[in-house]
Chain A
Amino acid sequence: MTYHSISQMIVFFLVAGLSAPLVGRYLAWIYEGKDTAVERGTYRYLGIDPDSEMTWKTYGQTLLASNALCFLIGFMVLWFQGSLPFNPRHLPSLSAPVAFNTAASFVTNTNWQAYAGEAQLSNLSQMISITFLMFVGAATGFSALMAILRGFVRSRGATVGNFWKDFFRFLYRAFLPACALMALILVEQGVPQTLKEIRTLHPVDGGTQTLVLGPVAALESVKNLGTNGGGFYNANAAHPFENPTPLANMIEMFGMLTFTFSLPFLFGRLLKRSRQALAFFAVIWILYAGGYGLMQYSEQSIAPAIASMGVGSPVSEAMTPGNMEGKETRFGITQTSLFSNTTIAATTGAVDAAMDSLNPIGIGVALFHMFLNEEPGGKGVGFAGFLKEAVLAIFLAGLMVGRTPEFLGKKIEPREVKLAMLSSLVTPVLVLGLTGLALLLPAGKAGIDNPGPHGFSEVLYGYASGNANNGSAMGGLAASSPFYAVSIGIEMLFGRYLPLLPLLALAGSLVRKPIHPRTAGTFETDGFLFVVLMLGFMVVVTALTFLPAMTLGPIVEHMFMRTGGAF
């Protein structure tokens, strides 16, 4: 790595890491104190009592019902786009499978894109279907996390909070203001923000070039701050209008991490255990930074088959050579590797380069992040998944030493372990089951673009992304074909709500338990040993589950690439 790469990495890691405790403290504060006048007005309009506490079941029902209605609106807007106003290009409606896939994708915070943004959506659809659902998906995930955290924080309780109140506190006091600020910074850097849809240019060499414009900055900021990831344009954040400068690239990465990295500190603040927050953060950060190291290593290397053609510039401050296929010059290898690793780790799914053209190790890193999906993971639900892993790791440690496991003063008993396992099983069942099914069916095989193990990775990546609610894709896969649109659409809904409901139930079960004071016999969960236990547990379980599939895809492709094999 050059000095140039290292300085960019260090500055980004410092800014993202050091701001996390401050943001965590702010987020803990927004749930305290009295409602503001705007909040009271909103509750009055909705006709709800913000101070009535909900059990986990009521909380879950409210979450599902509110999301279902939003999904319906988002779906209708896309399905009837052709008949709706503010469509100056007279774009037709999306097909039912693609409209379903897209509404499911955005309400679940996945932002998988089976459509090509600038070519298929009017600005009205970008606003009242896409941007609207981005806010709903992200704020819902965050609210669910608050309910789950209360399961650990409250002693001998019965309720886990009020969904509406959690939702609007986050939206009004953190999410919307942050989005507005970030949108303005992005416009200053060059991201368009207009309601005019088309601009025709007359290049000096003749001909015409058509620009598609719109409220891009407003969408771009919620896309990153909400770890949503769906782009205004087909090429997502590789498009110069979504991501015009290296600074914009840094700000977008920071947007993905600012809320997600702060969650351990939010939890630590609620628990009044700041050392615990550091231990959680250490685990998350080590997996995140390790992924970046591998990604950078992967993309700095040029495939031997290409290098033998006499391709590759000298390492200079001008440019770090590497795999530039699908990458933008203004980001180079370092900014692209930072972005690719961050977007997958935070399950944003925005991309500033083509994931399909990554070298195999880079694809492997992305897959591993998606299988884990909680370091730091998507808005709220990622950290909830992390706590589930902690419950399971503590349970295993308890088995090894032969005592009833305890986590943060709460006894972990059979019901908790069953619920955590139930939630854990969703990922392998959906990802491996659907990948296998797609490879058996002609409709699944027809959607593969690249031949050989790379093509296998495309399918595995698609289902890993759908289940993880990540949304990034190896773009060669025919995501808009009815088979993939419907199967990934259903998978995104399952991948979102199936693991979430057991976790809410887990919170409902934990909240009733008393918090035992620490004794000499308590297994400490805020020290070095716990960090090693968590890392070991997360990596080993993921590897055991997914290594066979990884072998068929990126690992075997890497071997072929090193020896100059091609398909």
Chain B
Amino acid sequence: MKLLSVSAKFALFLVLLCGIGYPVLMTGVAQVLFPIPANGSLIVKNGVPVASSLIGQNFTRKDEFHPRPSATPGPDGNGSVPYDAAFSSPSNLGPTTKSYLSGVKQAVDQYRSENHLSSGETVPDDAVTASGSGLDPDIGLDNAMYQVRRIAAERKIPKETLKRLVRETATPPQFGFLGPWRVNVVKLNLALDLLSATAIRPHGG
């Protein structure tokens, strides 16, 4: 009996210390030291939070950069609501599953025709595969450069200007060697809108 009462005290004490004290204390310190990341790295435009710089969004218009395919389900865990940040999920499909292969084939065909790829050009692997979270904010540089063709035609902006925009927005490997080169689609599309706005009014209107 003594063992049980000690164990009960032990469990309650740890709920207070590790379950409440520790996370609440860390919240206080983090909110003071790093308030922006601690609250979700929000991008605010005209006082309205429009995005998190870490979470991808489902851009589908022809004149925007498209993110990777996303397998996030609807709120009840079924169906498909791409880039639903309230339910992260990968596709969970394996490389010998027919439905997976046909899905990739469809994405490949769509990507080729949308971006006018020649038959000799390979489709970047990240453009036709769903990410692990379904919320990947980034795409590879090859993927972005292929999409420049479509967007240049849609927005009537020179390709070279758009390529420069991609390179300027791109994220290099951290410390020069950690992770690949990549570009954040949310930031890229916001920068693209800004570029279009200034292109229409070249001398500040």
Binding site for B on A (CB under 8 A): 4, 7-8, 11, 42, 45-48, 61-62, 65-66, 68-70, 72-73, 116, 118-119, 127-129, 131-132, 134-136, 164, 176, 179-180, 183-184, 187-196, 199-205, 209-213, 215, 217-219, 222, 233-235, 238-241, 244-247, 249-250, 302-303, 305-306, 309-314, 316-332, 335, 351-354, 356-357, 359-360, 449-454, 457, 474-476, 557, 560-561, 565-567
Q: A136-B14, A187-B30, A199-B40 are in contact. Are A325 and B54 (CB under 8 A)?
A: no
- In the assembled complex, the CB of A91 is this many whole angstroms from the nearest CB of chain B, namely 11
Closest 9 CB pairs of A and B: A238-B132, A246-B179, A132-B19, A354-B90, A235-B88, A246-B178, A193-B30, A128-B19, A454-B94
Cross-chain contact B30 with A245 (CB below 8 angstroms): no
Cross-chain contact A201 with B50 (CB below 8 angstroms): yes
Binding site for A on B (CB under 8 A): 3-4, 6-15, 18-20, 22-27, 29-31, 33-34, 37-42, 45, 48-52, 54-57, 59, 61, 64, 68, 75, 77, 83-98, 100-101, 104-105, 108, 112, 119, 121-126, 128-143, 171, 173-175, 177-182, 189-190, 193
Q: How far is the CA of A202 from the CA of B26 in the complex (A)?
A: 29
Cross-chain contact A47 with B59 (CB below 8 angstroms): no
Across the interface, B173 reaches (CB within 8 A) one of A4, A179, A204, namely A4
Cross-chain contact A47 with B6 (CB below 8 angstroms): yes
Cross-chain contact A306 with B101 (CB below 8 angstroms): yes
Q: A325-B129, A357-B95 are in contact. Are A210 and B85 (CB under 8 A)?
A: yes
Q: How far is the CA of A11 from the CA of B177 in the complex (A)?
A: 10
Q: How far is the CA of A557 from the CA of B93 in the complex (A)?
A: 13
Q: Which residue of B lies closest to A135 (CB)?
A: B18
Q: How far is the CA of A11 from the CA of B39 in the complex (A)?
A: 31
A-B contact pairs, 29 of them (CB 8 A): A46-B6, A70-B10, A70-B14, A129-B19, A132-B19, A135-B18, A180-B22, A184-B30, A192-B40, A193-B31, A202-B49, A204-B51, A217-B26, A217-B38, A218-B23, A238-B88, A241-B55, A303-B95, A309-B108, A313-B124, A316-B142, A318-B141, A329-B126, A329-B182, A330-B179, A449-B92, A475-B92, A476-B92, A567-B97
Number of CB contacts from chain A to chain B under 8 A: 389
Cross-chain contact B177 with A68 (CB below 8 angstroms): no
Q: Which residues of B contact A70 (CB under 8 A)?
A: 10-11, 14
Q: A187-B33, A245-B174, A357-B91 are in contact. Are A561 and B6 (CB under 8 A)?
A: no
Q: Which residues of B contact A184 (CB under 8 A)?
A: 26, 29-30, 33-34
Q: Which residue of A lies closest to B76 (CB)?
A: A119
Cross-chain contact A326 with B92 (CB below 8 angstroms): yes
Q: How far is the CA of A42 from the CA of B55 in the complex (A)?
A: 43
Q: Which residues of B contact A249 (CB under 8 A)?
A: 178-179
Q: A8-B178, A566-B98 are in contact. Are A199 and B126 (CB under 8 A)?
A: no
Q: Which residues of A contact B171 (CB under 8 A)?
A: 330
- In the assembled complex, the CB of B189 is this many whole angstroms from the nearest CB of chain A, namely 8
Cross-chain contact B142 with A313 (CB below 8 angstroms): yes
Q: How far is the CA of A193 from the CA of B68 in the complex (A)?
A: 27
Across the interface, A179 reaches (CB within 8 A) one of B22, B59, B181, namely B22
- In the assembled complex, the CB of A59 is this many whole angstroms from the nearest CB of chain B, namely 12
Q: How far is the CA of A196 from the CA of B38 in the complex (A)?
A: 10
Q: Which residues of A contact B100 (CB under 8 A)?
A: 325, 450
Q: Which residues of A contact B8 (CB under 8 A)?
A: 69
- In the assembled complex, the CB of A138 is this many whole angstroms from the nearest CB of chain B, namely 10
Q: How far is the CA of A331 from the CA of B180 in the complex (A)?
A: 7
Instruction: Knowing that A319-B142, A330-B138, A357-B91 touch, tell me 14 more A-B residue pairs with CB under 8 angstroms.
Output: A70-B14, A135-B18, A176-B18, A203-B51, A233-B133, A234-B88, A235-B88, A246-B174, A318-B181, A319-B182, A323-B129, A325-B130, A329-B138, A475-B89
- In the assembled complex, the CB of A4 is this many whole angstroms from the nearest CB of chain B, namely 7
Q: How far is the CA of A51 from the CA of B138 in the complex (A)?
A: 55
Q: A201-B50, A218-B23 are in contact. Are A566 and B97 (CB under 8 A)?
A: yes
Cross-chain contact A65 with B3 (CB below 8 angstroms): yes
Q: How far is the CA of A45 from the CA of B17 in the complex (A)?
A: 13
Across the interface, B55 reaches (CB within 8 A) one of A8, A45, A240, A331, namely A240
Q: How far is the CA of A69 from the CA of B13 in the complex (A)?
A: 12
Across the interface, B83 reaches (CB within 8 A) one of A209, A353, A452, namely A209
Q: Which residues of A contact B6 (CB under 8 A)?
A: 46-48, 66, 164
| Of listed A164, A179, A183, A353, residue having the most chain B CB within 10 A | A183
- In the assembled complex, the CB of B60 is this many whole angstroms from the nearest CB of chain A, namely 8
Across the interface, A326 reaches (CB within 8 A) one of B37, B41, B91, namely B91
Cross-chain contact B124 with A356 (CB below 8 angstroms): no
Q: A127-B20, A332-B180, A476-B92 are in contact. Are A452 and B125 (CB under 8 A)?
A: no
